[in-house]
Copies of this chain bind each other. A is one copy, B any other.
Amino acid sequence: MDEGATRRDRQRAATLADIKAVARRLLVSGGVGAVGLRAVARELGLTPPALYRYFPSHEALVTALIADLYDELTGALMELQAADTDADLGARLFLLTNGLRDWALAHPSEFALLFGTAIPNPEAEDHADTPGHQAAMRFGAVFKDLVAQIWHWKPFPYPADEDLGPVLLAQLQQETEEFQGMPAGAIYLALSYWVRLYGLICMEVFGQLHWVLPDAGAYFEAQLREIGEELGLDCPLPE
Give A residues with C-beta under 8 Å from B.
31, 108-109, 112, 115-120, 124, 164-165, 167-168, 171-172, 175, 178, 188, 191-192, 195-196, 198-200, 202-203, 205-208, 210, 212-215, 217-219, 221-223, 226
Contacts and interface: CB of A to CB of B under 8 A. Distances in A.
Contacts of A168: 218-219, 221-222
B108 A188 contact: no
Contact of A191 (B175, B198, B219): B219
Contacts of A206: 117-120
A215 B117 CA distance: 20
Contacts of A108: 119
Contact of A212 (B119, B191, B214): B191
A93 to B, nearest CB: 18
A17 to B, nearest CB: 26
A118 B116 CA distance: 9
Contacts of A202: 198-199, 202
